Amino acid sequence: MKKSVLTITLNPSVDKSSSVSNIIPEKKLRCNSPKYEAGGGGINVSRALKRLGVNSDAFFTSGGRTGKLLEGLLQGEQLNIRPFYVTSETRENFIVLDTACNKQYRFGFPGELLTKEEQNEILKSVEEVNPFPDFVVISGSLPTGTDSNFMKQLVKMCKSKGSKVIIDTSGEALKTAVEEGVFLLKPNIGELAFLVGKDKLEETDVDQAAQLIISQGKAEVVIVSLGSQGAVLFSASEKIRIEAPPVEVKSTVGAGDSMVAGMVSVLIQGGNYKEVLSMGIACGSATTMAEGTGLFTKENVERLYKEIQKQ
């Protein structure tokens, strides 16, 4: 039977991107026409999975005028959506490219607090998903002020349903999720340092930190993102490092989410960990080739995956 996937986004956004030549303080800047795209960790994972031919259900909070715009954007991409309505307005982000120097400026807003009642209702709504998915991807930030213990409750409930939980967040939400224990964790080096109580880690310390998390039962698989240098995967019996292929980077927006989608697309087919990591890096790298908040093209993913297989 084909494996199913649910993505959860608790702090989604509508990303508005544009471009202008020469960003100068206090000068009226006339930007090009904006482009609106759905944003937020889990939503981007679902969007990327769709491009890989994998259907998923996207659960996300939605509020106000921006929430309706978000839903419309996702319906336009023919995603299976599960909006959960909240009283606060869904946030917007603004991304602008300075075409004179090819530098991108990203302005993110925090998102309104979820009430305690809304948090409880979210847990109930996710628990009532039927049939419950084989994989749950919880990705993105929590709205400012949300009880980080909420993430722990969410992970625990998904695990109790027999689902494999993949987490990609940061800060206290990441810490509490990992305390509960997850299937797969994708931190960068800074987030990994935070999880093991260090101010920072040298690359030579990454192995020990990742294996400590695995040995404590906090994750079965730890994939440490090294940015343009690729990533390294750890399990109880394996360590696999793969370099990222050289590409012309136009934007890093959505690259991490695309990496998660690539990995999930292989996991649901029962692929091995080298294939999981290779597809993740191919998708993440291909997304950096897209402008603004755009995601990868399947053609670029396939080409990069073949390059990575030659390593």
* Cβ atoms 240, 273 nearer than 8 A: yes
Q: Are strands 103-107 and 80-85 parallel, antiparallel or unpaired?
A: unpaired
Q: Mark whether 207 is an active-site residue.
A: no
Q: How many CB atoms lie within 10 A of CB 28?
A: 5
| Euclidean distance between CA atoms 151 and 99, whole angstroms | 40
Alpha helices (H) in the chain, listed in sequence order: 41-51, 64-76, 116-127, 149-160, 171-180, 189-195, 206-215, 255-267, 273-288, 298-309
Residue 70, CA distances (Å) to 81, 246, 277 in order: 11, 33, 30
Determine which one of 57, 98, 168, 257 is catalytic: 257
| Euclidean distance between CA atoms 145 and 283, whole angstroms | 32
Chain center to CA of 22: 31
**Across the strands, what pairs with 184?**
166, 221
* Cβ atoms 296, 48 nearer than 8 A: yes
Structure tokens of 174?
Answer: 């990441």
Burial of 34 (0-12, 13-18, 19+ CB in 10 A): middle
Collapsing DSSP to helix, strand or coil, 156 comes out as helix
Collapsing DSSP to helix, strand or coil, 77 comes out as coil
- Return the active site residues: 257
